[in-house]
C-alpha cells in the first residue's frame, strides 16, 4: 500500500502532509514519556523489524500474498507515540533509500499506515487487553488489533482516494475490493503480530510496552544463609495513550460513518457493483476462489460498501465477545 | 577513597535468570585486580554494573565516591572505560577511525584534537594502519585491539576489561600487558588466563555462582589447588607458580 | 556490524553527484518530485524533458540505465493498479483492442504511471549516489527532529543484523524442506518472526550498551564536518530549477 507520486492530487497530498507532520510532532512529544534512554534503539529495532517483515510476503490465499503493515505491532511493542514514529521512519527510509512510496506521497503514506494503523491498532489493543487480562489477553488483543487496523487503513486509503485520487473510480467498488483483500491480509497480520508479541512476551516480557510488570524477588546469598529481597520497582505502564485510545475510537467511528455514507448515498451503488463486478471477479478471482467476494458483494441485496462495514462491525463484535469470554475464563481460574 | 565499591549487589536478567546474589568488593586507586571464575559465574554481569549499563536490582555500586545512579551515569561512564568480552559488540561505526572517535567526540572533543587522540590510541595498540578500514573486515584479534583502543581514547580513570587476552596472539597478549602496566589507572580484568592474572595483577577475586568466593593475593589463590578445583579453575598444563 | 554492505541501492563512486552534500541532494530530489507532481498530465513533452533531465544526472553520476531500470520493480504493484483504472473507471468509454476502457481512466493511468516512474527514478538516483548513513546526516542538517534521525540510524544498523539473522533462519527452514505456500504456513513464518525479533534485539542491545558505555547520550557525535557551500547548493538545485523552467515554459 505504499502510494507512489502522482496518485493523489496536490491538495490531498499537501493536506495529508500537514496531518502527518502534526501527528508526528505530537508523537515526538509523547514518545519522551513512553521509553527511557532506550527509546531510539528500541524504536529503531522495531522499525527495522517492520521493514524486514514487510518484505516477507505471506500467502493470503491461493496465488496472492500480502505483507505485514506493522502499525499495531509497533504500538504494542513500543507504545503508540513511539509506534507512530517507527512507522514514519520506516516509510521515510523506504521512500528515500529504496524509492518505495513517493516523496510527495509521504504525507499520505504516513497518515494511512502510520497514524491510522497505529491509532486503530492501539485503541483495539487497549480495549481488548483491558477486558481480557494476562498473557493470553495480551496475545489475543494483539491479534485483534492487527486484524482490525489493516482494513481500517485500507478504508482511509479509499476515503482519501475518493476525495483526492487522480482516477475516476466508484468509491464503493474500491472500498469493497480494498476492504476484502485487506481483511484477509489483516488475518495474516493478526497471526504474525500475535505470535511475535507472544514470543517476545515469553522470553523478554520487559520488551513489550503493552505488558509491563511482574518481576520476581531477588535472592541474596551471604555467610549467614539466604535471604530474599523485593524486586526493583517495575516500570509501570503509564497513562500515556489515553488520547490515543480516544483518537482511535474516534477515527474508527468517523470512518464507519463516512464510508457507509458514501456507500449508501450513491444512488447507483448497486448498479456500479454490477458494472464493476466484471473487474472484481477478474481481479480477485484467485484471491477469493470464487466464493468470498460473491458473498461479500451482495448480502441479500445489500451493496458491497455496507456489507464491508457490516463485516468490520461483526469482526469487532466477535472480538469483543471473545475478549469477554477470555476474561470470564480468567476469572474462573482465579 | 576507593576506586570501586560494590556492596550487596544482586541482579536478575529480565527473563528471570538471577546472575548475581549479593556481591561485595572494593578496589582502591591504581590497583590492578583480576576477576576469576568459571563460565556463567556472573563476571560479565558484574562488570556491566560498573558503568551503569545494567542497573542494580539490589545493593549499590560506587565509582570514585560517586554512586552509580541514573543521574550520575554520564559522569560514571566518563570515569569507567569498559572493554567488552565480544569486540563485535563494541565496534559499531563504519570505520575504525570513527569507532575510536566515538567516545571522545561524545565528550566534546573535536577537530585536530580528536584526530590526535584517535591516532594516539590506535598507535598504542598497533592498529594505526587499519584506521580507515571497516571493523568487520578485521580479524578477531585485530578487532579486540581496536576495541581496547576505543576505550583508551576516552582516557578513563578505571579500566575494566572482560577477557582481554582471549584470541590474542602471544605477541599481542604481551603488548597488551605492557600497555596495561604503563597506565596509571585502576584496572579490573576478567580473565580465564590464570598466568596472565598472575603476571599483571597482585590481587585476585574469585566469583562463583554469583558471589565472591575468595579475595586475596593472586599468588596465594593460585597456589591453593583445592580452592581452584572447587571453582572449576585450572592452571595450564605444566604451569607452576614461580618462586618469588 | 557497520553500515553499508547490504544496502543494494548504493553504488559507490566519486562523481560530482556523489560528492554533493546529502542535504543538497535531498532538497533537490524533493523539489523535483514536487515539480513533477504539479505538472498537468496533458503536458507530454514536459514529462519527456524531465526524463531527459534524470538521464543527464544519471550520466553525470555514472549510474547505468540498466541499474535504474532493474530497481524500478518496486513500482510494479502500482503499475498493475494503474492498468486496472481504465477498465474499472467511470465516464466516457472507448474500445481499444476489443476492451472497453474509460477515457478519464486512461488519463488517470497515464498520470500515475508517468509521475510515479519519474519519482521512483529520482529517488533511485539519490539512493544510488548517497550512502544511507550520509543521507541521515543530511536529514539531521535539514533539522529533521533528532529523535527521528536517531530511530532511522538505529534502524539501518539493526537492518544488518536482521537481514543476517533472516537469511540464516530461512536457510535453516528451507534446508528442512519448508516453503511458504498457503494459509497454513502463516504460523511457521510468524513464529520465525518472533524468534527473529528477539535474536536481533539481543544482538542489537549489546551494541547499544557499548554505545552507552562510551558516553552516547542520544545524539550522534559530530565526527566529520558536512556543511554545504553555495556552489554546491547551486549545482544540486539545478535539477529542480531546470524542471521548473520546463514547467514554466508551458504556462
Ligand atoms: N542476557 C541474558 N539473559 C538472561 N540470562 C543471562 C543473560 N546473560 C547472561 N545470563 C545468565 O547469567 C549468568 C551469568 O552470566 P555471565 O555472562 O555474567 O557469566 P560469565 O561469568 O561472564 O561467564 P563467561 O566466563 O562464560 O563469560 C549465566 O547463568 C547466564 O546464563
Ligand atoms: Mg563473560
- Per-residue model confidence (pLDDT) at position A324: 43
Backbone torsions φ then ψ of C32, nearest 5 degrees: -60, -45
Is A294 a residue whose pLDDT tops 70? no
Residue A186 Cα, gap to closest chain C Cα (Å): 12
In this prediction, residues A134-152 reach a mean pLDDT of 87
Instruction: Based on the fold, state whether residues C103 and C77 are members of the same structural domain.
Output: yes
Instruction: Based on the fold, state whether residues C167 and C89 are members of the same structural domain.
Output: no
Higher pLDDT, C100 or B150: B150
User: Cα-atom radius of gyration of chain A, to the nearest Å?
Assistant: 21
- Per-residue model confidence (pLDDT) at position B166: 86
In this prediction, residues A307-323 reach a mean pLDDT of 43
Is B41 a residue whose pLDDT tops 90? yes
Instruction: Based on the fold, state whether residues C132 and C162 are members of the same structural domain.
Output: no
Least confident of A197-206, A254-263, B39-48, B64-73: A254-263
User: If DSSP states are collapsed to H, E and C, what string results for C2-58?
Assistant: CCCCCCCCCCCCCCHHHHCCHHHHHHHHHHHHHHHHHCCCCCHHHHHHHHHHHHHHH
pLDDT-derived band at C217, boundaries 50, 70, 90:
confident
Interface of B with C (CB under 8 A): 48, 51, 53, 73-74, 77-78, 80-82, 84, 86, 88-95, 98, 101-103, 105-107, 110, 114, 134-136, 150-151, 154
Dist CA A206 CA B54 (whole Å): 14
Residue A133 neighbours by CB distance under 10 Å: 16
Instruction: Based on the fold, state whether residues C101 and C165 are members of the same structural domain.
Output: no
Grid coordinates standing for A118? Answer: 497505529
Take atom 18 of ligand 1 and give the residue whose Cα is closest: B42
Instruction: Based on the fold, state whether residues C86 and C207 are members of the same structural domain.
Output: no
Higher pLDDT, A79 or C9: A79
Q: Give the pLDDT confidence of C60-119 residue by residue, as tens digits.
A: 988 888 888 887 776 666 677 677 777 766 667 777 777 777 777 788 788 888 888 888
Dist CA C123 CA A104 (whole Å): 11
CA B234 to ligand 2 center in whole angstroms: 17
Find the DSSP H helices in chain B. Answer: 43-49, 73-79, 87-90, 96-106, 111-124, 140-152, 170-182, 194-200, 218-223, 225-230
Burial class of residue B213 in the structure, from the number of CB atoms within 10 Å of its CB (0-12 exposed, 13-18 middle, 19+ buried) = middle
B106 lines ligand 1 (CB under 6 A): no
Among C45, C69, C48, C73, residue whose Cα is nearest residue C58: C69
Dist CA A82 CA A42 (whole Å): 9
Q: Is residue C7 part of a domain?
A: no
- Per-residue model confidence (pLDDT) at position C115: 85
Which residues sit with Cβ closer than 5 angstroms to ligand 2, an ion? B 44, 85
Q: Residue C143: how many CA atoms within 13 Å on its side-chain side?
A: 0
Among A177, B43, B166, B170, residue whose Cα is nearest residue C80: A177
- Alpha-carbon distance values, A7 to A163, C85, C106 (Å): 12, 12, 14
Take atom 17 of ligand 1 and give the residue whose Cα is closest: B44
CB-CB under 8 Å, C3 with B53: no
Grid coordinates standing for A179? Answer: 476492504
Look up residue A224 and give its DSSP letter.
Answer: T
In this prediction, residues A189-201 reach a mean pLDDT of 83
Look up residue A302 and give its DSSP letter.
Answer: B
Which helix H or strand E contains A197, and what residues bound it? helix A171-203
Q: Is residue C174 part of a domain?
A: yes
- Per-residue model confidence (pLDDT) at position B16: 78
Dist CA A232 CA A228 (whole Å): 12
pLDDT-derived band at B23, boundaries 50, 70, 90:
very high
Cα of first residue to Cα of last residue in chain B, in angstroms, is 31
Take atom 1 of ligand 1 and give the residue whose Cα is closest: B13
- Per-residue model confidence (pLDDT) at position A68: 72
Q: Give the pLDDT confidence of A218-247 residue by residue, as tens digits.
A: 777 766 677 777 654 444 444 444 555 555
In CATH, the number for domain A10-215+237-326 is 1.10.1760.20
CB-CB under 8 Å, B18 with A232: no
Take atom 7 of ligand 1 and give the residue whose Cα is closest: B13
Q: Give the pLDDT confidence of B43-72 residue by residue, as tens digits.
A: 999 999 998 888 888 899 999 999 998 888
* Of B74, B77, B136, Cβ closest to residue C2: B136
- Per-residue model confidence (pLDDT) at position A36: 61
Is A203 a residue whose pLDDT tops 60? yes
Backbone torsions φ then ψ of B160, nearest 5 degrees: -115, 125
| Model confidence, pTM | 0.71
pLDDT-derived band at A284, boundaries 50, 70, 90:
very low
Dist CA A99 CA A111 (whole Å): 18
- Asked if residue C129 lies in contact with residue A90, where contact means CB atoms within 8 angstroms, the answer is no
Q: Which residues contact A177 (CB under 8 A, 6 or more apart)?
A: A280, A283, A284
Residue tagged 508523537 (cell numbers): A27
Among A100, A151, A108, A79, residue whose Cα is nearest residue A20: A108
Provide the pairing of β-strand A218-222 with B18-28: unpaired
Grid coordinates standing for B106? Answer: 561524545
Looking at the DSSP bridge assignments, the partners of residue B36 are B206
Provide the pairing of β-strand B32-36 with B186-190: parallel
Dist CA A254 CA A120 (whole Å): 12
- Per-residue model confidence (pLDDT) at position A30: 83
- Asked if residue A75 lies in contact with residue A208, where contact means CB atoms within 8 angstroms, the answer is no
Instruction: Based on the fold, state whether residues C21 and C117 are members of the same structural domain.
Output: yes
Is C49 a residue whose pLDDT tops 50? yes
Q: Return the C-alpha torsion angle A160, A147, A315, A278, nearest 10.
A: 50
* Number of structural domains chain C divides into: 2
Q: Give the pLDDT confidence of A38-72 residue by residue, as tens digits.
A: 667 778 888 888 887 776 555 554 344 456 788 89
Name chain C contacts of B113, Cβ cutoff 8 Å: none
- Per-residue model confidence (pLDDT) at position B19: 93
CA B199 to ligand 2 center in whole angstroms: 21
Computed over every residue of chain C, the mean pLDDT equals 78
Cα of first residue to Cα of last residue in chain C, in angstroms, is 52
- Asked if residue B237 lies in contact with residue B218, where contact means CB atoms within 8 angstroms, the answer is no
Is C182 a residue whose pLDDT tops 80? no
Look up residue A216 and give its DSSP letter.
Answer: P
Q: Give the pLDDT confidence of B115-129 residue by residue, as tens digits.
A: 999 999 999 888 999
In this prediction, residues A103-114 reach a mean pLDDT of 87
Max mean pLDDT range (A163-167, A187-191, C85-89): A187-191
In this prediction, residues A298-304 reach a mean pLDDT of 36
Computed over every residue of chain B, the mean pLDDT equals 89
Residue A298 neighbours by CB distance under 10 Å: 16
Dist CA A58 CA A52 (whole Å): 13
In this prediction, residues A131-152 reach a mean pLDDT of 85
Instruction: Based on the fold, state whether residues C56 and C132 are members of the same structural domain.
Output: yes
Burial class of residue B84 in the structure, from the number of CB atoms within 10 Å of its CB (0-12 exposed, 13-18 middle, 19+ buried) = buried
All domains of chain B, ordered by start, with CATH? Answer: 2-86+159-230 (3.40.50.300)
- Per-residue model confidence (pLDDT) at position B49: 93
- Per-residue model confidence (pLDDT) at position B20: 93
Find the DSSP H helices in A79-116. Answer: 80-97, 106-109
- Per-residue model confidence (pLDDT) at position A37: 63
Computed over every residue of chain A, the mean pLDDT equals 67
Least confident of A325-334, C24-33, C178-187: A325-334
Dist CA A177 CA A278 (whole Å): 12
Residue A321 neighbours by CB distance under 10 Å: 10
Percent of chain A scoring above 90 in pLDDT? 5
Grid coordinates standing for A293? Answer: 467476494
In this prediction, residues B67-82 reach a mean pLDDT of 88
- Per-residue model confidence (pLDDT) at position A233: 47
CA-based torsion, A304, A307, A313, A314: positive or negative? negative
Instruction: Based on the fold, state whether residues C28 and C45 are members of the same structural domain.
Output: yes
**Domain span holding position C38:** 16-138+226-249
Name chain B contacts of A208, Cβ cutoff 8 Å: none
Percent of chain C scoring above 90 in pLDDT? 6
Q: Give the pLDDT confidence of A22-43 residue by residue, as tens digits.
A: 888 888 888 876 656 666 777 8
Instruction: Based on the fold, state whether residues C112 and C231 are members of the same structural domain.
Output: yes
Q: Which residues contact B233 (CB under 8 A, 6 or more apart)?
A: B36, B37, B38, B194, B206
Backbone torsions φ then ψ of B12, nearest 5 degrees: -120, 135
pLDDT-derived band at C178, boundaries 50, 70, 90:
low
Burial class of residue A212 in the structure, from the number of CB atoms within 10 Å of its CB (0-12 exposed, 13-18 middle, 19+ buried) = middle
Percent of chain A scoring above 70 in pLDDT? 57
CA-based torsion, B225, B230, B235, B236: positive or negative? positive
Looking at the DSSP bridge assignments, the partners of residue B2 are B28
Nearest CA in chain C to A172: C88
Higher pLDDT, C77 or A14: A14
Residue tagged 550520509 (cell numbers): C134
Where do the domains of chain A lie? 10-215+237-326
CA B84 to ligand 2 center in whole angstroms: 9
Instruction: Based on the fold, state whether residues C109 and C207 are members of the same structural domain.
Output: no
Higher pLDDT, C50 or A134: C50
Nearest CA in chain A to B211: A221
Backbone torsions φ then ψ of C40, nearest 5 degrees: -60, 145
Percent of chain C scoring above 70 in pLDDT? 81
CB-CB under 8 Å, C215 with B103: yes
Residue B94 neighbours by CB distance under 10 Å: 20
Q: Which atom of ligand 1 is the closest one to the Cα of B41?
A: 21
Q: Is residue C6 part of a domain?
A: no
B239 lines ligand 1 (CB under 6 A): no
Using most ligand atoms within 8 A of CB, pick from B9, B10, B43, B47 the residue to mutate for ligand 1: B43
- Per-residue model confidence (pLDDT) at position B8: 92
Backbone torsions φ then ψ of C33, nearest 5 degrees: -60, -40
- Per-residue model confidence (pLDDT) at position B214: 94
Least confident of A82-96, B81-95, C192-206: C192-206
Is C132 a residue whose pLDDT tops 70? yes
Is B156 a residue whose pLDDT tops 70? yes
Instruction: Based on the fold, state whether residues C80 and C168 are members of the same structural domain.
Output: no
- Per-residue model confidence (pLDDT) at position C52: 92
The distance from CA A34 to its chain's CA centroid, rounded to whole angstroms, is 19
Interface A-B: count of C-beta contacts within 8 A? 39
Higher pLDDT, C102 or A302: C102
Residue B47 Cα, gap to closest chain C Cα (Å): 11
Is A211 a residue whose pLDDT tops 60? yes
Instruction: Based on the fold, state whether residues C113 and C22 are members of the same structural domain.
Output: yes
Among A188, A157, A137, residue whose Cα is nearest residue A255: A157
- Per-residue model confidence (pLDDT) at position B60: 92
Nearest CA in chain C to A199: C194
ipTM confidence: 0.76
Return the SS3 of A294. Answer: helix
- Per-residue model confidence (pLDDT) at position A55: 66
* Strands laid side by side in the B32-36 sheet: B80-83, B158-162, B186-190, B32-36, B203-208, B211-217
Residue B19 Cα, gap to closest chain A Cα (Å): 10
Amino acid at each position: 500500500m505504499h502510494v507512489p507520486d502522482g496518485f493523489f492530487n496536490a491538495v490531498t497530498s499537501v493536506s495529508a502532509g500537514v496531518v502527518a507532520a502534526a501527528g508526528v510532532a505530537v508523537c515526538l512529544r509523547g514518545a519522551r514519556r513512553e521509553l527511557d534512554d532506550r527509546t531510539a534503539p528500541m524504536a529503531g529495532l522495531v522499525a527495522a523489524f517492520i521493514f524486514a517483515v514487510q518484505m516477507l510476503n505471506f500467502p493470503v490465499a491461493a496465488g496472492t500474498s500480502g505483507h505485514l503493515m506493522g502499525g499495531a505491532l509497533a504500538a504494542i511493542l513500543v507504545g503508540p507515540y513511539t509506534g507512530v514514529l517507527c512507522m514514519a521512519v520506516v516509510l521515510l527510509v523506504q521512500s528515500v533509500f529504496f524509492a518505495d512510496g513517493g516523496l510527495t506521497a509521504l504525507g499520505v503514506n504516513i497518515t494511512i499506515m502510520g497514524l491510522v494503523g497505529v491509532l486503530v491498532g492501539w485503541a483495539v489493543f487497549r480495549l481488548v487487553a483491558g477486558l481480557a487480562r494476562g498473557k493470553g489477553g495480551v496475545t489475543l488483543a494483539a491479534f485483534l488489533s492487527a486484524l482490525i487496523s489493516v482494513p481500517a487503513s485500507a478504508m482511509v486509503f479509499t476515503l482519501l482516494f475518493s476525495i483526492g485520487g487522480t482516477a475516476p473510480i466508484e468509491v464503493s467498488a474500491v472500498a469493497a475490493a480494498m476492504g476484502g483483500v485487506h481483511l484477509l491480509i489483516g488475518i495474516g497480520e493478526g497471526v504474525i503480530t500475535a505470535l511475535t508479541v507472544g514470543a517476545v512476551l515469553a522470553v523478554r516480557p520487559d520488551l513489550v510496552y503493552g505488558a509491563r510488570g511482574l518481576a520476581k524477588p531477588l535472592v541474596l546469598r551471604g555467610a549467614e544463609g539466604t535471604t530474599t529481597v523485593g524486586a526493583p520497582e517495575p516500570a509501570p505502564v503509564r497513562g500515556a495513550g489515553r488520547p490515543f485510545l480516544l483518537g482511535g475510537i474516534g477515527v474508527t467511528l468517523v470512518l464507519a460513518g463516512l464510508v457507509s455514507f458514501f456507500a449508501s448515498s450513491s444512488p447507483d451503488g448497486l448498479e456500479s457493483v454490477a458494472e464493476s463486478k466484471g473487474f472484481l471477479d477478474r481481479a480477485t478471482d484467485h484471491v477469493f476462489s470464487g466464493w468470498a467476494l460473491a458473498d461479500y458483494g451482495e448480502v441479500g441485496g445489500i451493496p458491497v460498501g455496507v456489507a464491508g462495514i457490516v463485516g468490520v462491525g461483526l469482526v469487532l463484535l466477535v472480538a469483543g465477545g471473545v475478549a469477554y469470554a477470555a476474561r470470564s475464563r480468567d476469572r474462573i481460574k482465579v | 577513597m576507593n576506586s570501586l565499591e560494590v556492596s550487596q549487589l544482586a541482579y536478575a536478567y529480565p527473563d528471570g535468570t538471577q546472575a548475581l546474589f549479593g556481591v561485595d568488593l572494593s578496589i582502591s586507586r591504581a590497583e590492578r585486580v583480576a576477576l576469576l571464575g568459571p563460565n556463567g559465574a556472573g563476571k560479565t554481569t558484574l562488570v556491566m554494573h560498573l558503568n551503569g549499563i545494567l542497573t542494580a536490582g539490589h545493593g549499590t555500586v560506587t565509582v570514585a565516591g560517586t554512586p552509580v545512579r541514573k543521574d550520575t551515569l554520564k559522569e560514571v561512564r566518563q570515569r569507567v572505560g569498559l572493554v567488552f568480552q565480544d569486540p563485535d559488540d563494541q565496534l559499531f561505526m563504519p570505520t575504525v577511525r570513527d569507532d575510536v572517535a566515538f567516545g571522545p567526540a561524545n565528550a566534546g572533543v573535536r577537530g585536530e584534537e580528536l584526530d590526535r587522540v584517535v591516532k594516539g590510541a590506535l598507535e598504542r595498540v598497533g592498529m594505526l594502519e587499519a584506521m580507515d578500514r571497516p571493523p568487520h573486515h578485521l580479524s578477531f584479534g585485530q578487532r579486540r585491539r581496536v576495541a581496547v583502543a576505543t576505550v583508551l581514547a576516552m582516557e578513563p580513570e578505571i579500566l575494566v576489561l572482560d577477557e582481554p587476552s582471549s584470541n590474542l596472539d602471544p605477541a599481542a597478549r604481551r603488548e597488551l600487558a605492557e600497555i596495561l602496566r604503563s597506565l596509571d589507572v585502576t584496572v579490573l580484568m576478567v580473565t580465564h588466563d590464570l598466568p596472565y592474572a598472575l603476571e599483571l595483577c597482585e590481587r585476585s577475586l574469585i566469583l562463583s555462582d554469583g558471589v565472591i568466593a575468595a579475595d586475596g593475593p593472586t599468588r596465594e589463590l593460585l597456589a591453593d589447588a583445592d580452592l581452584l578445583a572447587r571453582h572449576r579453575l585450572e592452571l595450564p598444563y605444566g604451569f607452576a607458580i614461580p618462586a618469588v | 556490524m557497520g553500515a553499508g554492505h547490504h544496502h543494494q541501492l548504493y553504488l559507490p563512486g566519486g562523481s560530482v553527484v556523489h560528492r554533493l552534500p546529502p542535504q543538497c541532494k535531498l532538497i533537490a530530489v524533493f523539489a523535483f518530485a514536487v515539480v513533477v507532481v504539479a505538472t498537468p498530465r496533458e503536458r507530454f513533452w514536459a514529462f519527456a524533458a524531465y526524463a531527459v533531465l534524470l538521464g543527464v544526472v544519471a550520466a553525470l553520476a555514472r549510474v547505468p540505465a540498466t541499474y535504474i531500470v532493474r530497481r524500478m520493480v518496486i513500482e510494479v504493484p502500482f503499475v498493475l493498479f494503474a492498468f486496472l483504472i481504465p477498465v474499472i473507471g467511470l465516464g466516457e468509454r472507448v474500445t481499444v483492442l476489443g476492451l472497453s476502457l474509460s477515457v478519464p481512466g486512461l488519463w488517470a493511468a497515464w498520470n500515475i504511471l508517468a509521475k510515479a516512474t519519474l519519482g521512483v527514478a529520482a529517488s533511485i538516483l539519490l539512493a544510488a549516489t548517497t550512502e544511507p548513513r550520509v543521507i541521515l546526516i543530511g536529514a539531521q542538517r535539514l533539522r529533521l527532529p533528532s529523535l527521528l534521525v536517531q530511530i532511522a540510524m538505529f534502524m539501518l544498523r539493526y537492518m544488518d543484523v536482521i537481514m543476517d539473522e533472516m537469511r540464516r533462519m530461512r536457510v535453516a527452514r528451507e534446508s528442512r524442506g519448508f516453503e511458504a505456500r498457503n494459509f497454513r504456513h502463516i504460523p511457521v513464518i510468524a513464529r520465525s518472526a518472533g524468534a527473529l525479533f528477539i535474536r536481533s534485539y539481543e544482538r542489537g542491545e549489546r551494541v547499544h550498551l557499548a554505545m552507552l558505555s562510551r558516553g552516547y547520550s542520544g545524539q550522534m557525535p559530530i565526527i566529520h564536518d558536512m556543511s554545504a557551500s553555495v556552489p554546491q547548493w547551486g549545482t544540486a538545485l539545478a535539477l529542480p530549477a531546470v524542471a521548473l523552467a520546463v514547467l514554466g515554459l508551458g504556462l
